Each structure stands twice: as C-alpha cells, then as structure tokens.
Structure 1
Amino acid sequence: MKELVFAIVEMTLLAAPWLLLGLLVAGLVRGLVPRARIRQWLSGDGIRPILRGAVLGVPLPMCSCGAIPTALALYRGGAGRGPTTSFLVGTPGAGVDSLSLTLSLIHL
C-alpha cells in the first residue's frame, strides 16, 4: 500500500509543473486573446481551422497535462471541436521538443 501511495504522489509531482504551465497558458489565452479572434481562426467548417489548431499546438512545449487546460480555454473561447481536437493531438505528439527528443533517440 505504501508503494501505491508513493507512486501516486510521485506521478502527481511530476505532472504538476506541466499542469500549472497549461493553466498559465489557458489564463493568458482567455485574458489576452479576444473571443472574436479565436472564433475567426478556429471555428467553421473545412480543413483550414483544423490545420490552424494543429499548427498552433506544435510549437508549444507542453505535454497532455498542459494541453488540456489550454484546449479547454480555446474551446470555451469559441474554437470548434475539430480545431480543439487537432490542438490536443498536435501539442504533445508533434511538438518541437517531442520531435527533437525522438530524433535524437533514434540517432537521426
């Protein structure tokens, strides 16, 4: 039982900084980016808003813990489901930090 509690505390402490970063970015998005701008860029039909959501997420060095609050702020700000989902997938999976680490691990 002690090992389980220790593992839970350890995982919480590992995720906490990234979650706080995500909350900070979400607060900045909500406070600095007007809703009209979010709706203009990340809503509507077609592939363009979805690509914009993915492109927005790629340069951010966040794991999924940090991407979730930011994506929630985008969605509540008027972004569509498609762009929000592409942001969620693009941020932790195709981020610059993830790609550089992967390339260095496979020796490319």
Structure 2
Amino acid sequence: MPKVLIYSSQFCGYCRAAKNLLRAKGLDYVEIDVGLDPARRHEMVERAGGLRTVPQIFIHGRHVGGYDELAALEREGKLNDWLADALKTYAAGASGSEAFAGADER
C-alpha cells in the first residue's frame, strides 16, 4: 500500500476535505498536526519546498501539494496513476523510508 503522509492542523477545512478524499479512496495515511508544533511545521515547510499552508500531502515521499492539487489529480483521473507508481516503487524493493523521513507515526 502506498505510504501517504499529510501535514495538517486541527481546524483546517481543507485538511478535513483531503482526509475525506483519501479515506473515500480506501487509503490509510499518517497525519502530523503542525498546529501547535513549531518543529513539525518547520519540517513540513522544508519538505514542501517552502510552502507554509496546510495540508501538505506526500504519496510515498512524492509531494502532491495541498487539497486543491490532490482533488485536481482525482478529477483528472491521475491520482490512481500516482498511487500505482508508488506501489511499483514499493514492490520493486524501495524501503519507503523516504515517505516518512523525519515523521513518526504518533
């Protein structure tokens, strides 16, 4: 299963929408709440190329972007391709550790 990581905050409607979309596709994800954790927010900003808004979503280490980008991938029928690519990488023996670099599953 592709590893999905979502940086979020508690009262973020876009975060909630992204998690709903992921659940609707039957995907599990690891969520990191950056709302009250400056170190985690800094980690997110670094991994997301300077983007500071939540959510920031990664599929098997590949940066998707926020909810708008995730929803666009789904609308265009490209999200399944991203997931399939992640599965191929995972099946080919990639450790997958890059998907959660610096992230623990709390």
TM-score by length of 2: 0.24
Bigger helix fraction: 1
**Which has more strand, going by share of residues?**
2
Rg larger in structure:
1
